[in-house]
Structure 1
Amino acid sequence: MSPEQIGFALLYLGVFLLIGKWIRIRVKWLQNLFLPSSVIGGFLALLLGPQVLGSMLPVGEESFWATGILSPEVVQVWEEIPGLLINVVFATLFLGATLPSLSKIWNVGGPQLAFGWTLGWGQYVIGILLTVLVLSPVFGLPPMAGALIEIGFEGGHGTAAGLQSTFEEMGFADAYDLAIGLATVGILSGVIVGIILVNWGVRRDKTNVIKDVRDFSTLRKAGIMEFENRDPAAKMTVRPESIEPLSLHFSVVALAILTGYLLLQFLIWLESVTWGAWTGSDFMTYIPLFPLAMIGGILVQAFFHKVDNAKLLDRPMINRIQGFALDLLILTAIATVSLDVIGQHIVPFLLLAAAGIAWNVFGFLILAPRIIPTYWFERGIGDFGQSMGITATGLLLMRVVDPEAKSPAFEGFGYKQLVFEPFLGGGLVTALSVPLIYQLGAMTFLIFAAVMCLIGLLVGLLHFGRK
């Protein structure tokens, strides 16, 4: 494949993002669902690609239109993008962030951490039980399918993409498309069910801040920042004549990913000369790069915290890089998901999706009011949104019910993420869950997940819930 073809595939991404944004501005029902432009653009590319438009047109395999309006080279490049950009997303999680004290994390973010911890581990419990009792004996899926709810819902498209090579090495390549499909269902249902819950909460007087969801401006529904709220997206921490601020922050992100890569290679080498040499284990080779990129980001941030007296790292600039990578990741992941694989496993896919949605809704309506002592709706809806899709979904729903951040929802959510992200939602546990189930068995991991879920539930109910 030539550099021109790769460049053209990247240009196509910009076109579909713009079209997705234009559709969001023009179509009212999409505005009411608050769907991201990347999701809209991804679905449009899927419809116009080889799997839908290409299969519908009565042309031969040699025709240009056999693959829709996406050439095979474009599809080939797009298929690789999610697995690469997830490293950028996770490397930026803690860069430029000020780490608060443990006591503040516990006091402010503790209730949301307990609730989110319960939801996350509960997805493993529900998924593995469903797999052991139904999916494996009836449909022949391997026990690793029990991890797909947490990977697709809590982890999202990026996590699923980052685990593609792991799925292949475990002999369950179809899991990638199933996880991407579940991630798409998670985002859509997270926004749709979340908005329904918000309307229900407002009518039933469950919310403490907003009392009418019709108060949103037309510009906000269209995803356009109001003129009076257009603050700078980032700060200029260095002078452009020395280095462009965006270039500096990109370089730091690259350093974080490289640090994670070196750490991963060290772990693989350490295993090969220690327990791997004694037992024949090659467990470390199954670990994807993105959780180590997150650890690399933490190490780089700790280094800058010690030596950077000029405060060169700007968190809003890091957020822009992360958001850019996430937009491209979601669009390409949706556009290249295999409909054939989902069609072959449609019943297990629907069962996993329904079980995940039911557990999250149950958690929000039944557990959140009993775990979160104050502003339970505003705080719990963020964890519900994240458990259904991605962090952005949780932030979106919190902004709907608390647009001016009058409740402790945003602060608590941020503190909760500092402890939550290194483990669940794409962290170490998510990355290791499939290899662990493969090597240790589903029942062993089920017992471990049940214990972790029970710890989160008991801490939430007995400690925070009594306040």
Structure 2
Amino acid sequence: MKFWESGAMLTALAVVGLLLGCELLARVVPALRRLGLPLAILAGALGLLLGEQALGLFALDVELLESVVYHGLAIVFISVGLKAPTEGGRSAASRSMAFAIVAMMATQAVIGLGVVLLLDSALHPGFGLLLPMGFEEGPGQALSLGSAWEQSGLPKGAQVGLIIAVIGYGWSVVAGVPLVIWGRRKGLTAPGLASTGAGNTQTVSVARSEPGSVDALTAQIAVVGLCYLLTWALCSGLARALAGMPDIAATVWGFHFIFGAGIAMGMRPLLARMPGGTPVNDHLMGRVSGLTIDVITCAALAAVQIAVLSSHWLPIVLVTVLGGLWTLVFAVWVAKRAWTEAPFEHAVLYFGMSTGTLPTGLALLRVVDPDLRSPAAVSAVFGSAGAVAGVVPLLMGLIPMTVASYTTDWPARGWLMLGALLAYAVAVFVLWRLFGGLRFRRPLATFWPD
């Protein structure tokens, strides 16, 4: 039938089937949950294995999957931005986590760009600058910016971003699980965090629709859709205004998720003034973001084209290996110097976040803290929000400026921008030391000072 000819529905059903299959598999094999491997990552990996890239059991529409990741990223940011802010995020641990996130992103950018300049000055800087995008920010941001940078000369930028993000997920599992085992053997875990079983029973308030009104979930999706429509209008206007600077105009579409989050936060107080109150329900909006994260994570892994990795393997491998090693070493080294309470739990979560996403970090944390009773989870949630002020100069300033300079005086400007990124990283550490609670406990060569 003609409605099946495009393959879009079969691809969508394949993603849903992979997610459901992994959920059922985890129930049959409980060890999968104990390992802390997010099931969406497993589903995406199975999609890559079973698809045309490997066993060829079924075909997936790669362009559709890339589109899902791109648009899904904005939906996640919008749905989070629409939720009411939670009080209590100004603790010392949260402030330290905010500085830690910015510091990791800045140093990953330095490592990535430095590797590219040293390896081959003719390489596009995107091969290195997608390291913090893929590791620290996740597949959505990596694909979005990689796609935008294709116009400035980054070959297969969307795929390069996805591949780096997928390798980041690999680091979070391959190095994260041994990190947990090492910490347990050393007795570094905080006492009293074993699961009590209390976390398995939750009372959830279900939003009910009034007679004659749309379903409550429909209302959430409609509000998200309105915000995304406004995001498209804003990006379109900015792109037209910057038509004389095509490289920067393309970057605008790469940052659509930031504009979407800003519009959502601006819409929140306006919606609260509606007759009868805001239509936004925080619980349902959380389900929208959770569903979208699962879908885009699975889609991102399943959409990887191995041929792109084989044609650009050297810069990708060097950048991700050195970046992964740095992320692991720094996460362990800084933990006891940045957090006084539950430092190892913070180290595990920080490493998981810095190689994947916040949900990946939380999944890894649950291996040592099944009920998320340590302060690490709260630090990560509020720290991620607090880090926005420090991340924006990188995302909207230094990184786009570096990419834009590739078409002019390169590599001279590349080295100049490397110096600027390094200076920014140093400034972050200084501010972290002054205002974020970082302490350079000695000996500095020790990973875990007494």
| TM-score in same-fold range (> 0.5) | yes
Pick from 84, 87, 99 the counterpart of residue 97 of structure 1. 84
User: Residues of 1 paired with 2:202 and 2:153: CA distance?
Assistant: 49
| Structure 1 unmatched ranges of 5 or more | 55-67, 218-224
Q: Which residue identity is paired with 1:97?
A: A
Q: Which residue pairs with 2:36 in the alignment?
A: 34
User: Residues of 1 paired with 2:310 and 2:389: CA distance?
Assistant: 33
Q: How large is the Cα RMSD of the aligned pairs?
A: 3.0
| Structure 2 unmatched ranges of 5 or more | 406-412, 441-450
369-378 vs 290-299, greater mean Cα deviation: 369-378
Q: Which residue pairs with 2:219 in the alignment?
A: 248
Q: Which residue pairs with 2:96 in the alignment?
A: 111
User: Residues of 2 paired with 1:435 and 1:52: CA distance?
Assistant: 35
Within a 5 Å distance, the mapping from 1:22-421 to structure 2 comes to: 22-27=24-29, 30-54=32-56, 68-70=57-59, 74-98=61-85, 100=87, 105=90, 107-134=92-119, 136-137=120-121, 141-210=123-192, 228-232=200-204, 235-236=206-207, 238-239=209-210, 241-271=212-242, 276=244, 283-287=248-252, 288=254, 289-305=256-272, 310=277, 312-421=279-388
User: Residues of 1 paired with 2:247 and 2:162: CA distance?
Assistant: 26
Do the aligned residues in 1 keep the contact of 2:124 with 2:153 (CA within 8 Å)? Answer: no
Quote the offset at 1:150 in angstroms: 0.5
User: Residues of 1 paired with 2:20 and 2:156: CA distance?
Assistant: 31
Q: Give the count of matched residue pairs.
A: 428
Question: Per the alignment, do residues 316 and 383 of structure 1 end up closer, same or farther by CA in structure 2, a change over 3 Å counting?
Answer: farther
Q: Which residue pairs with 1:465 in the alignment?
A: 438
Quote the offset at 1:2 in angstroms: 5.6
User: Residues of 1 paired with 2:138 and 2:343: CA distance?
Assistant: 24
Question: Per the alignment, do residues 31 and 405 of structure 1 end up closer, same or farther by CA in structure 2, a change over 3 Å counting?
Answer: closer
Q: Does 1:439 align with 2:404?
A: yes
User: Residues of 2 paired with 1:117 and 1:428: CA distance?
Assistant: 10
Q: Which residue pairs with 1:16 in the alignment?
A: 18
Q: Which residue pairs with 1:221 in the alignment?
A: none
Q: TM-score, normalised by structure 2?
A: 0.85
User: Residues of 1 paired with 2:138 and 2:67: CA distance?
Assistant: 16
Q: Which residue identity is paired with 1:242?
A: S
User: Residues of 2 paired with 1:237 and 1:411: CA distance?
Assistant: 29
User: Residues of 2 paired with 1:309 and 1:444: CA distance?
Assistant: 55
Kindly provide the CA deviation profile for residues 330-385 of structure 1, in whole angstroms up to 9, marking residues without a partner as x: 22221121101101222322211111111111211212211223322223432221
Quote the offset at 1:269 in angstroms: 4.0
Q: Which residue identity is paired with 1:292?
A: F
Do the aligned residues in 1 keep the contact of 2:94 with 2:380 (CA within 8 Å)? Answer: yes
User: Residues of 2 paired with 1:164 and 1:286: CA distance?
Assistant: 9
Do the aligned residues in 1 keep the contact of 2:146 with 2:161 (CA within 8 Å)? Answer: no
Give 3-state SS (helix, strand or coil) of 2:341's partner: coil
Q: TM-score, normalised by structure 1?
A: 0.82
Q: Which residue pairs with 1:451 in the alignment?
A: 423
Quote the offset at 1:460 in angstroms: 2.9
Question: Per the alignment, do residues 117 and 172 of structure 1 end up closer, same or farther by CA in structure 2, a change over 3 Å counting?
Answer: same
User: Residues of 2 paired with 1:375 and 1:431: CA distance?
Assistant: 34
Quote the offset at 1:230 in angstroms: 4.3
Question: Per the alignment, do residues 428 and 319 of structure 1 end up closer, same or farther by CA in structure 2, a change over 3 Å counting?
Answer: farther
Kindly provide the CA deviation profile for residues 166-196 of structure 1, in whole angstroms up to 9, marking residues without a partner as x: 0321221333223212211212321342232
Quote the offset at 1:122 in angstroms: 0.8
Give 3-state SS (helix, strand or coil) of 1:163's partner: helix
305-314 vs 350-359, greater mean Cα deviation: 305-314
Do the aligned residues in 1 keep the contact of 2:193 with 2:373 (CA within 8 Å)? Answer: no
Q: Which residue identity is paired with 1:90?
A: F
Quote the offset at 1:144 in angstroms: 2.4
